[in-house]
Amino acid sequence: MKNLFDLRGERILITGTGGAIGGATARVCSALGAELIITDLKAPTELASEIGARAVALDNTKRDDVNAVFADAGQLDAMIDCSGYYVKGDWLDGGDEWETLLARTMDINVKGPVNLIRACMPAMMKRGSGRIVLTSSMAARNAGSTLAVEPAYAASKGGLQALVRYFARQAAAHGVVVNGIAPGPILTPLLVSANQPFALDSYPMKRFGQPDEIGWPAAFLASRGATFTTGAVLDVNGGMCFS
């Protein structure tokens, strides 16, 4: 029996690989044999050299740039979007500064994934196969692991989960699956810099997740082992929140 989790011969584009989760996902997919194209705002050349991938600079919010990168990428078997944006702001009294934060968050976390899907899903549908994975957050379900989570972020990730289901319905009849993954608190530089009041003793597993604990489930959703799974958002949060 063929191992459908084996990614040898699969071409996968992964965005946001300059971040901890995106980088871990790229390393996992590389270890499973995938041919990778990896992107971030600045081309992730160091990671590309490490894992033998092609590095490309990409701003997901710019549709023309997205279209150009995907046109150059050629036929893709899967696309994993690990890009995202989170900055703290004062939603109650922040005025124009918070309005700017809200717009930027929605631009990157919602418009960006839509641009990516518009660039890759039609070709996948025409070919009759493809897997798309979008990275959401536990914050979409329970507003986050602390009361300090930014509301613009929670709203954007909730919107992303709605898009997973919308695009899954659009593509299902054409052999293309669209799924999401919703991490809980993962030990990344972004989490550390947020300086939020995490209470590890109250967490079911008493610890943060590690980036590769998101990378492996994401790789599954991008594999041929997930071709009858669509419209799902996989909770990977150590038991903190259930669907």
What is the CA angle 198-162-139, rounded to 5? 5
User: Which of 49-63, 91-105, 178-192 is predicted least confidently?
Assistant: 91-105
Q: What percent of the chain has pLDDT over 70?
A: 90
pLDDT of residue 239: 85
Q: Which of 181, 145, 161 is nearest to 25 (CA)?
A: 181
Residue 147 has pLDDT above 70, yes or no: no
Within 8 A by CB and 6+ apart from 159, the residues are 106, 109, 110
Give the residue with greater pLDDT, 121 vs 1.
Answer: 121
pLDDT of residue 204: 85
Q: Which of 54, 47, 34 is nearest to 223 (CA)?
A: 34
Q: How far is CA 115 from CA 5, 40, 161, in A?
A: 27, 15, 15
Confidence of residue 205 (pLDDT cuts 50, 70, 90): confident
Residue 144 has pLDDT above 70, yes or no: no
Phi, psi of 196 (to 5 degrees): -95, 160
91 touches 152 (CB < 8 A)? yes
Q: Which of 52, 115, 111 is nearest to 79 (CA)?
A: 115
The second-level CATH assignment, the architecture, of 11-236 is 3-Layer(aba) Sandwich (3.40)
The average confidence (pLDDT) of the chain is: 91
Per residue in 65-90, pLDDT (tens digit) is 999 999 999 999 999 999 987 767 66
pLDDT of residue 192: 65
pLDDT of residue 196: 67
Phi, psi of 221 (to 5 degrees): -65, -25
Per residue in 149-197, pLDDT (tens digit) is 778 888 899 999 999 999 999 999 999 999 999 998 888 877 666 666 6
Per residue in 38-50, pLDDT (tens digit) is 999 999 999 999 9
Residue 242 has pLDDT above 90, yes or no: no
pLDDT of residue 132: 98
